[in-house]
Amino acid sequence: MKTYLVTGGAGFIGSHLVERLVGQGHQVRVLDNLSTGSMQKLESVADKIKFFEGDLQDVQLMQEAVEGVDIVFHQAALASVQRSVEHPLDTHDACVTGTVVLLDACRRANVRRVVYAASSSAYGNTKTLPKTIDHATHPRSPYAAAKLAGELYCEAFAATYGIETVRLRYFNVFGPKQDLDSPYAAVIPKFAEAILSGKQPIIHGDGTQSRDFTYVQNVVDANIAASEAEGVSGNVYNIGCGGNLRVIELLKEICQRLNKPCDPIFAEPRQGDVKHSWAEIRETEEDLGYEGKVSWQEGLQPTLDYYVKLLSKEKTCKVA
């Protein structure tokens, strides 16, 4: 049995990872400042974890959280391109300074490995697809730059102090528990909320932009594999499904499954967004044994079911 720390463990991806680790019988600690996360996401395991409420930049709290920990899964971030455009300094503090504080605490506590949640946004717009780990990075937003800076610090701490670090570049993760009501919500919850509320969904751009939508349980699989694989320290891996889907086709599929009309509003493209996203995952498959078992088609239904149930519950509460 190992001891794990999940930063951002009360968030979307982090909470799924915490549930998996607890289910495997491990000792699990969670650090989260609850600015975007919620204890509701950890209801099923709340009595089985040690929770630290606070900020990544709290040096003393961070040191306490990592003492005696074997593996750290660093999921905490202000994970929004648009939020970073509006608040670049906040994004830098959370994603860069917070990561350095964590890595420094880990080296002092002799943590064996840090698995870092990186972002495919680091690639920017590439001339060719799919995006490989050999592609140059051209961040188009403060968020992309901050996540890439965190990657570089992971690489530097591995080289300087011998801390094992593995960087996972996520491609458009979705699934149950992804925030629905945030102004910075991702595209699938935004579409679902609009359609289920009888509003016209908004597409920023002409709808031909494409994404490699990756179900959250695939991402959990990748994190576990990255924490266990031998000979991967210092490496970076793409975490996606190895395909891409146009946003307009995604919207049509959601409308069809919810049996609702599809009448989107087309708005101007947003600052910082990339046109196409598609992961080359060959190295991930070879080194980590990653499979991307759940396709976007398979993952979409439990995700929509979650939002239908959530919105129905909220509506009932308002009526009461």
193 and 307 in contact (C-beta within 8 Å)? yes
Residues 6+ apart with CB under 8 A from 110: none
The CATH code for residues 3-173+215-239 is 3.40.50.720
Q: What is the mean pLDDT of residues 171-187?
A: 89
What pLDDT does residue 315 have? 61
With CA atoms as reference, report the closest residue to 123 among 250, 274, 16, 15: 274
Residue 318 pLDDT > 60, yes or no?
A: no
d(CA 39, CA 51): 10
Q: Write down the domain spans for the chain.
A: 3-173+215-239
Residue 320 pLDDT > 50, yes or no?
A: no
What pLDDT does residue 313 have? 77
DSSP single-letter state for residue 172: S
If pLDDT is split at 50, 70 and 90, which confidence band does 172 have? Answer: very high
If pLDDT is split at 50, 70 and 90, which confidence band does 319 have? Answer: very low
Q: Please indicate whether residue 272 or residue 250 has the higher confidence score (pLDDT).
A: 250
Residue 316 pLDDT > 80, yes or no?
A: no
Average pLDDT, the chain: 96
pLDDT, tens only, 28-78: 999 999 999 999 999 999 999 999 999 999 999 999 999 999 999 999 999
Q: What is the mean pLDDT of residues 144-149?
A: 98
d(CA 55, CA 277): 31
User: What does each C-alpha distance from 162 to 63, 111, 172, 186 come to in angstroms?
Assistant: 18, 10, 31, 36
With CA atoms as reference, report the closest residue to 170 among 22, 2, 14, 297: 14
Q: What is the mean pLDDT of residues 180-208?
A: 92
Q: What is the mean pLDDT of residues 123-128?
A: 95
Cis-peptide into 130, omega within 30 deg? yes
Q: What is the mean pLDDT of residues 226-240?
A: 98
Report how far Cα 142 is from the mean position of its chain's Cα atoms: 16
Q: What is the mean pLDDT of residues 287-299?
A: 97
